[in-house]
A and B are shown apart, each in its own frame.
Chain A
Amino acid sequence: MRNKLYKWILWGVVVISVALFPHVVGIYYSNFFVAFAIFSLYAVTLNLLLGYMGVLSFGHAMFFGTGAYATAIALTHIKGFPLLPAVLVGGLAGGLLALILSPLLVRVSGTAFAMLTLAFGQLIFVVALKYREITGGEDGIGGYSIPPLNIPGVVSIDMTNQINFYYFAIAVIVVCLFILWFYTKTPFGSLVVGIRDNAMRIDYLGFKLPQIKAVNLIVCGTFAGIAGAVHALLMKLVSTVGVLDINASFVPIMMAYIGGVGSFFGPIIGSGVLHLLEDLVIRFTERIGLVNGAIFILVVLYAPMGLVGLFREAKAKWFHEEKVS
């Protein structure tokens, strides 16, 4: 009972902090927080494949990027395209891509899966660069503005106001994270984890393995696409840099690993750590990539379950010592 009370209080504090945040720290850090949230969602979708289903998606940027481009294209080409559909169209694009690729992706696992996703990720990157008429090539798509949030007949909230956008973006991402968290707690979620441990046994228990894998892939693709959509709105510019390039595929992997692949919140923590780190390190040197890479290597070598893993180990040790004494 006490535990539950503590949990509610903790969440209350978090909600209030997040709500008051932009008023306390200003625009720059509000946008920074939105970026952190976007990548948290993105990294969580990667972990639903890596930590939960046991496959490494090496080209995950293809879902993120497809979502971002879809939103940008919709806002640029269709006058008056409303806000919520703009976000949903990103999710739809990501999900559709996952659906199209799933017949091939469900056939493989392990290194082959990593290679296949790498190949597709690179393919989409190259397509985005070469098919200038649609994607703007290297320059990308920009110059669209964020449409207002319209609830017909009730209210119209101007999203060019950065504080309004902050609340909208955070709300969208929190809702998505909650949906995904709930998803992992359902019977279907437990099937996905089963696949990680022993795909053959899942087959022998009577479940259709390819279908389950496909559904999980589509869920991950859809929500990664939504993350991309929000990113497109935040940056008001979408190009391959940071969105479809190889770096964009590696960032969520780093975040998931550093935070901890064995927990739902690990990637969120990883996103926080990397964002804070970048903000700090950038004051001293441009070599943030080196710092990230070095930390990543250290984590893989010495703390493969990430920060959450270290925390759990420490907790177990503390409890053990309590018991003993």
Chain B
Amino acid sequence: MTILETKGLYHDFKGLQVLFDVNLQVQEGERHAVIGPNGAGKTTLFNVITGTYRPSRGHVFFKGRDITGARPHELTRIGMGRSFQITSTFNRLTAFQNIRLAVLSKRGIRFQMFRKVDGMGDITRETDEVLKRINLDRERDMPAGVLSYGKHRSLEISMALATDPDLVMLDEPTAGMSRDETHHAVELIRRLTEGKTLVIIEHDMDVVFSLADRITVLHYGQILATGPPGEIRQNQAVKDAYLGELEV
């Protein structure tokens, strides 16, 4: 089943065309990477899909429904999760409190004003479980802002996952990470997106080729090519666009 689809998607900023007739299809359960040179429009594509922007033209379909122009919170509630290129967590709150907010959302607890949140045992348990799965259980009570870069990015990724979405959209999750941290992050992502659909923007080609089932190459806002990694590696147009960056 096509879980995510964009049809004839255009987007411009005050006359500057950023996305140009983007027709993307993501199959349920697949791991789909979006790559392209800087400024190709990858993050804009994410922003349009996840509701930050309303596209200038075109439609976005999620699980068969037209979600064009829907707001982020609506999309999260129907099963989309998103992480950001620039870490976007609650920096003054502890790792535990960060994840707990996501757990509360997942459980639909939004306007609860009659119980102490600390006293909700099942919420606490589930939050601790999530922390354990992402190896942040020792940093449980540390403010997110003082976490090491790698751990902070892990927290960022898990904020996208903690609402248990069916479609996970990660924007350059390994940006700025060391070799080691990247390796751990990839393992984490692989483990946590088991049974889910993943769309990932990445610059690190090792990550792309080890994770992706299919790759879409974006160039100046247009899709240059879509296909399995082997095909993309051979594609001449893609090679020209990247000027040899794809040599792995």
Are chains A and B touching in the complex at the 8 Å CB cutoff?
Answer: yes
Give chain A's interface residues, CB within 8 Å of chain B.
182-183, 185-191, 193-194, 196-198, 200-209, 212, 215
Q: A187-B104, A190-B101 are in contact. Are A206 and B73 (CB under 8 A)?
A: yes
Minimum CB–CB distance from A308 to chain B (whole Å) comes to: 15
CA distance A193 to B97 in the complex (A): 10
Whether A188 pairs with B90 at a CB distance below 8 angstroms is no
Whether B117 pairs with A205 at a CB distance below 8 angstroms is no
Whether B88 pairs with A206 at a CB distance below 8 angstroms is no
Contact among B88, B89, B112, B163 for A187, CB-based, below 8 A: B112
A and B contact pairs by CB, cutoff 8 A, 23 listed? A185-B117, A186-B112, A186-B113, A187-B113, A187-B115, A188-B111, A189-B117, A190-B100, A190-B117, A191-B101, A191-B104, A193-B93, A197-B92, A198-B88, A198-B91, A204-B72, A204-B73, A205-B73, A205-B101, A205-B105, A205-B159, A206-B76, A206-B106
Give chain B's interface residues, CB within 8 Å of chain A.
50, 71-73, 76-77, 82, 88-93, 97, 100-102, 104-106, 109-118, 120, 123, 159, 163
Minimum CB–CB distance from A173 to chain B (whole Å) comes to: 20
CA distance A212 to B113 in the complex (A): 12
Among A197, A205, A215: residue with most chain B CB under 10 A: A205
Whether B105 pairs with A207 at a CB distance below 8 angstroms is yes
Interface of chain A, main secondary structure: helix
Contact among B76, B82, B104 for A190, CB-based, below 8 A: B104
Residues of B within 8 A of A202 (CB): 101
Residues of B within 8 A of A185 (CB): 116-118
Chain A, residue nearest B83 (CB): A204
Residues of B within 8 A of A191 (CB): 101, 104, 110
CA distance A205 to B116 in the complex (A): 21
Whether A204 pairs with B120 at a CB distance below 8 angstroms is no
Whether A205 pairs with B89 at a CB distance below 8 angstroms is no
Q: A187-B104, A188-B113, A190-B104 are in contact. Are A206 and B77 (CB under 8 A)?
A: yes
Contact among B50, B101, B111, B123 for A194, CB-based, below 8 A: B101
Whether A186 pairs with B117 at a CB distance below 8 angstroms is yes
Chain A, residue nearest B119 (CB): A185
Nearest 7 CB-CB pairs, A to B?
Answer: A206-B76, A197-B90, A206-B105, A187-B112, A187-B117, A185-B116, A205-B105
Interface contacts beyond A186-B115, A197-B91, A205-B73: sample of 9 additional A-B pairs, CB < 8 Å, sorted by A: A183-B113, A187-B115, A189-B117, A198-B88, A201-B159, A203-B71, A204-B50, A204-B82, A212-B110
Chain A, residue nearest B110 (CB): A207
Residues of B within 8 A of A212 (CB): 110
CA distance A201 to B52 in the complex (A): 12
Contact among B71, B72, B92, B116 for A182, CB-based, below 8 A: B116
Whether B93 pairs with A197 at a CB distance below 8 angstroms is yes
Whether B100 pairs with A204 at a CB distance below 8 angstroms is no
Whether A186 pairs with B90 at a CB distance below 8 angstroms is no
Chain B, residue nearest A206 (CB): B76
Whether A207 pairs with B73 at a CB distance below 8 angstroms is yes
Residues of B within 8 A of A206 (CB): 73, 76-77, 105-106, 163
CA distance A209 to B74 in the complex (A): 11
Residues of A within 8 A of B91 (CB): 197-198
Residues of B within 8 A of A186 (CB): 112-117
CA distance A208 to B110 in the complex (A): 9
Minimum CB–CB distance from A197 to chain B (whole Å) comes to: 4
Q: A186-B115, A186-B117, A191-B101 are in contact. Are A209 and B90 (CB under 8 A)?
A: no
Contact among A189, A196, A197, A204 for B76, CB-based, below 8 A: A204
Minimum CB–CB distance from B46 to chain A (whole Å) comes to: 12
Whether A200 pairs with B88 at a CB distance below 8 angstroms is yes
Residues of B within 8 A of A207 (CB): 73, 105, 110
Chain B, residue nearest A200 (CB): B88
Residues of A within 8 A of B115 (CB): 186-187
Whether A205 pairs with B111 at a CB distance below 8 angstroms is no
Chain A, residue nearest B109 (CB): A187
